[in-house]
Amino acid sequence: MRRNLLRQRFAEGRPIVNAWLAIPSAYSAEVIGHQGFDSVTVDLQHGMIGFDAAVPMLQALSSTPAVPLARVSKCDYALVMQLLDAGAYGIICPMISTPAQAREFASFCRYPPGGGQRSFGPARGLLYGGADYFAHADAEILALPMIETREAVANVDAILATPGIDGIYIGPNDLCLSHDCAPAPEPADAAMAGLIRDLAAAAGRAGKMAGIFCSGGEAAKGRVGDGFHMVTPGNDVALLSRASKAAVAAVRGEGAAAPTSKTGY
């Protein structure tokens, strides 16, 4: 089976730069996949993307060096399995707040025996991964629950200790909302900022991966400094909006581009 290069980068202590796709386009996915990202996540939660649009995006990503990942809209047995069968090499699952939820999510990503519930039918997994996909899938596929609620923060050590879970991925916007703050990937509030850094430290102690959504490239670099292993410098819409506004400002001779969203979206 084709190796999951994200596992290798994590083991070597090299940061993973991850792209995040909300635009339902195989061409756009292909373009992003060629820009040097280590992985590209197809976002079925907040992206304008359903499973039928995700398949050609994963096919397009197969022609790029980036590792294909997907964020599901919820912890759904059928959807997790379909995306893995469609060739995703890892699943990011929103709103996992308890060890029981983490255990269920991990079981959707793993074949039996050993607690896995994944049904057999690897489809594109065989084409992208290789003929021996079944023998290695459990060891290569990444299962990353999102920590984005107060309850998840309280349970983070137990979630990290859950067998079959490879790490955590922080959703800072929702984490802020659950703490009665406005959504912000890099909150100014000192307590929120400290809490997010503590989550990276918890993953470090567990020897597992910590990922996080960021507002942009500089912020993502800062998160690597905070101990995060996987950073997402905003989604494709944020990158496109920012580049477009900067081009318009340059043509018009305006000093600064019009402001864009600071949430990474």
Three-state DSSP at 259 gives coil
| Distance separating alpha carbons of residues 84 and 72, to the nearest angstrom | 11
Indicate whether 166 belongs to the interface with Mg ion (CB under 5 A): no
Residues 204-233 that bind ligand 3PY (CB under 6 A): 213
46 included as an active-site residue: yes
Indicate whether 186 belongs to the interface with ligand 3PY (CB under 6 A): no
Nearest residue to Mg ion, scored by beta-carbon proximity: 171
Contact residue for ligand 3PY among 38, 148, 166, 186 (CB under 6 A): 148
Which 8-state DSSP code applies to residue 214? -
| Distance separating alpha carbons of residues 58 and 219, to the nearest angstrom | 27
Residues 4-43 that bind Mg ion (CB under 5 A): none
**Binding segment (CB under 6 A) for ligand 3PY, from list 59-67, 96-104, 111-119, 168-176:** 168-176
Tell me how many degrees the CA angle 82-86-87 measures, rounded to the nearest 5. Answer: 125
Residue 163 region by backbone torsions, left for phi larger than 0, else alpha for psi between -120 and 50, else beta? beta
Q: Which is nearer to Mg ion, 84 or 175 (CB)?
A: 175
Indicate whether 172 belongs to the interface with ligand 3PY (CB under 6 A): yes
Contacted entry of ligand 3PY, Mg ion, none for residue 140, CB cut-off 5 to 8 Å set by kind: none
Residues 23 and 54 sit within 8 Å (Cβ to Cβ): no
Three-state DSSP at 41 gives strand
Task: Point out which residues bind ligand 3PY (CB under 6 A).
Answer: 94, 148, 171-174, 213
In the complex, the residues that contact Mg ion under the rule CB under 5 A are 148, 171, 174
